[in-house]
Structure 1
Amino acid sequence: MNVKKHLTIIVGIGIIIVLLWWAGIRDSIGLMLQANLKYLALAVLMYCIAILSWSIRWGVFLRGANIRTSFIKVIEGVFVGIFLNNLTPGARTGGEAIKALYIAKSSNGTYPKVFATVMADRILDIIPVAMLMLIAFIYSVVHGIKVLVWVLLLSLILLMLVVIITVVFSVKENYAMSLIMGIFRIFRRIFPSRLSNYEEKMESKIKGGIREFKSTLIGISKRKRDVVFSTLWSFVLWLSDVLRTYFIFLSLGSRVSLLQVLLVKMASMALAMISVIPGGIGISETIQSALFLAVGVEKTVAVSATVLDRIISFWAPTFIGGVLVLKRKDVLRLDKLSPK
């Protein structure tokens, strides 16, 4: 990890400290320490359900592509992807390539085939997000919440751009090649001692697997039953995400509505996508706190709930994913990825 990345993470943590100071550090910490454990446990349960839903959805695509691996490995792959995504600024796409590599080494699937399932999983994720975002946008317009109207409009625009870019890069061979090699070069800068000698070999492997990637992706799209089943799990994932934050507010004694939580979750998504700090550290906390203030939540409660939410949904899974990466250091050894 280079000095610049260290500095951005330090800046992000500094922003969190300033945010807590603004809300009242003693009051915020006191409120978090007094959180109702029953509701806090429900929030953790919602996060676990989200992870399981994500793993089941991805597992459907893996089985559809005739890739055989254990469900535990799929869950591990999700956490590895989360860990590496959280090291990536902006839209956080860096972990997608590596979690595909993780499963390719733990199954009978080739890297291009597994990566196609990752892309299908990412594309499908857009359906529930777009619907929930549209609901939040309509509500904001009807009730005249101008700040959220503009932020949600930005979110919808960015989401559409993500859809277009993802589809284009999935069907255009030269664009897909540039994307994958770009992601590789990001990780070469993060792990120069491990990856600096493998760029040529990686490029050769990807070129040879582009056709397999496309054919797998097309095959997945034709399995209508799998697509419908996975879409249902996508809704479970995102509703669990909203409920997690809702239960955190309840644990702090705040009677915020589910709709308020939905509004903020959808609105904060766009701004987190354009964050220059890895994982949106500090930025996400600040944005969500500000948006909760905009819907009428008291500042100490807004900041405390947001920080608690990030501990459960960002810091804990990042730690778990990091442990898995350390445990399976070979996941970053591209030279060990043999064709099957």
Structure 2
Amino acid sequence: MKHKGSLLIVIGVAALAAMILIIGPGEIEEALRKADPIYVAMAVALEFIILALFTIRWSITTGAVSIDVEKRHLFPMLLVGMAINNLTPSARGGGEPVRAYILGRYSRASMESAFATVIADRGLDTFPFIFLAIITIIGMVLYFDLSQWILTALVASVAIIVAAFFLALYVSIDRDAGERITGWILGILKRFYRKNHERLEMRVRSALHEFQSTMRIMLADRRVLLYGIPVSFLLWILEIIRVYLVFAAFGADISLLVIAEVFILATLIGMIPLLPGGLGAVDGIMIVFYSYAGVSPSVSAAATVVERLISFWLISAMGVAVIPYFGSSVSEKLMDKL
């Protein structure tokens, strides 16, 4: 995994470099020199506000099941999870088990309960994402002359995400559905796990029951939905505003609506598990569509580079930097994933 992730990072960077060469490094460099540092600083400051809100949202789910951990400890856990998602080809999902593992080790909560809080935290993202994705598809039809197959792919992607979300939610809280899925998983595991089948089955079913119990407790807590969903909507809005601030730094004449549409589209592309964090693909999509919206290719590329430096590379560097915070034993396991 480590070598594969490293190779994919190289491929992603090479793809971005190739696009920069096509546009012209000189033109992009000239655009970067004209960037207003005040707007860039505002975008960086907004990113830290976004990280604080991510931490607050996660604390809502941990608090619902009485996991005793302070926000100042959740923050570095969140950064590590984001770094794992960014730097491994995991469809933005590899960081969630890591967050649960660290939370369980640090708070001494069970892995099942810790993982449930992380799943619930990510699940809260789904509500605003579905809403914004539908708006984006409508906007794409109005603003961009897209081919039929691209529109079909976008609609199919959103439909798959919606179906997967509700299926995961159903399995997470319905005991019978969980038992059926567990039986299917056990059937696969038994082919490779030759000894102590009864012990394996007991452990898996016990883990499932605790996970489902934790999920039901959180869903029954009104604070999770009452506070979690508004915070999730606010997070998406602030992320879009962050991109807008970066373009404002270059004096680009582009509407907030177009930025929102491209941002959601890039997020969909970033979910494809081929490149870490959608590296290369996301950057390319953003540059192409911003240029298509009327922004010059050099400014589109320069703004995208700056935006990704803030939202991708800065977060990744911070996440890797705080790994030693959790001790040598945890650090060794986490570094093996990178």
User: Would you say same fold, with TM above 0.5?
Assistant: yes
CA distance in 2 between counterparts of 1:101 and 1:33 reads 43
Q: Paired residue for 1:138?
A: 138
Deviation of the 1:176 alpha carbon: 6.8
Is the deviation greater in 221-230 or in 206-215? 206-215
Deviation of the 1:87 alpha carbon: 2.8
Matches for 1:215-294 after TM superposition, within 5 Å: 215-294=213-292
**Is the Cα contact below 8 Å between 2:91 and 2:274 reproduced in 1?**
no
Q: Paired residue for 2:89?
A: 89
Closer/same/farther in 2, CA of residues 150 and 86 from structure 1, 3 Å limit: same
Letter in 2 for 1:254: A
Q: Which consecutive residues of structure 2, in runs of 5 or more, have no partner in the other structure? A: 189-198, 334-338
Q: Secondary structure at the match of 2:87?
A: coil
Q: CA offsets per residue over residues 166-200 of structure 1, 9 Å max, x none? A: 32553425647989xx9xxxxxxxxxxxxxxxxxx
Closer/same/farther in 2, CA of residues 302 and 275 from structure 1, 3 Å limit: farther
Is the deviation greater in 24-33 or in 152-161? 152-161
Q: Paired residue for 1:159?
A: 161
Deviation of the 1:97 alpha carbon: 0.6
Letter in 2 for 1:295: A
Matches for 1:69-84 after TM superposition, within 5 Å: 69-84=69-84
Closer/same/farther in 2, CA of residues 280 and 293 from structure 1, 3 Å limit: same
Deviation of the 1:103 alpha carbon: 1.3
CA distance in 2 between counterparts of 1:121 and 1:26 reads 43
Deviation of the 1:20 alpha carbon: 1.2
Letter in 1 for 2:158: L
- Root mean square deviation of aligned Cα: 2.7
Closer/same/farther in 2, CA of residues 69 and 3 from structure 1, 3 Å limit: closer
Q: Secondary structure at the match of 2:106?
A: coil
**Is the Cα contact below 8 Å between 2:182 and 2:204 reproduced in 1?**
no
Is the deviation greater in 230-239 or in 135-144? 135-144
**Is the Cα contact below 8 Å between 1:86 and 1:92 reproduced in 2?**
yes
Q: Paired residue for 1:196?
A: none
Number of equivalent positions: 314
Larger Rg: 2
Matches for 1:10-29 after TM superposition, within 5 Å: 10-29=10-29
**Is the Cα contact below 8 Å between 1:37 and 1:251 reproduced in 2?**
yes
Closer/same/farther in 2, CA of residues 28 and 242 from structure 1, 3 Å limit: same
CA distance in 2 between counterparts of 1:62 and 1:203 reads 28
Is the deviation greater in 209-218 or in 26-35? 26-35
CA distance in 1 between counterparts of 2:21 and 2:200 reads 47
Deviation of the 1:55 alpha carbon: 0.9
CA distance in 1 between counterparts of 2:140 and 2:212 reads 40
CA distance in 2 between counterparts of 1:88 and 1:169 reads 27
CA distance in 2 between counterparts of 1:203 and 1:85 reads 30
Deviation of the 1:254 alpha carbon: 0.7
Deviation of the 1:309 alpha carbon: 0.9
Closer/same/farther in 2, CA of residues 206 and 289 from structure 1, 3 Å limit: farther
Q: CA offsets per residue over residues 93-138 of structure 1, 9 Å max, x none? A: 0110110111112224222111111111111110111111222222
CA distance in 2 between counterparts of 1:46 and 1:74 reads 19
Q: Secondary structure at the match of 1:254?
A: coil
Q: Paired residue for 2:105?
A: 105
CA distance in 2 between counterparts of 1:31 and 1:120 reads 42
CA distance in 2 between counterparts of 1:163 and 1:46 reads 29
Q: Paired residue for 1:185?
A: none
CA distance in 1 between counterparts of 2:321 and 2:184 reads 30
Q: Paired residue for 2:114?
A: 114
Q: Paired residue for 2:330?
A: 331
CA distance in 2 between counterparts of 1:230 and 1:165 reads 20
Percent pairwise identity:
27
CA distance in 2 between counterparts of 1:54 and 1:313 reads 13
TM-score where L is the length of structure 1: 0.84
Letter in 1 for 2:3: V
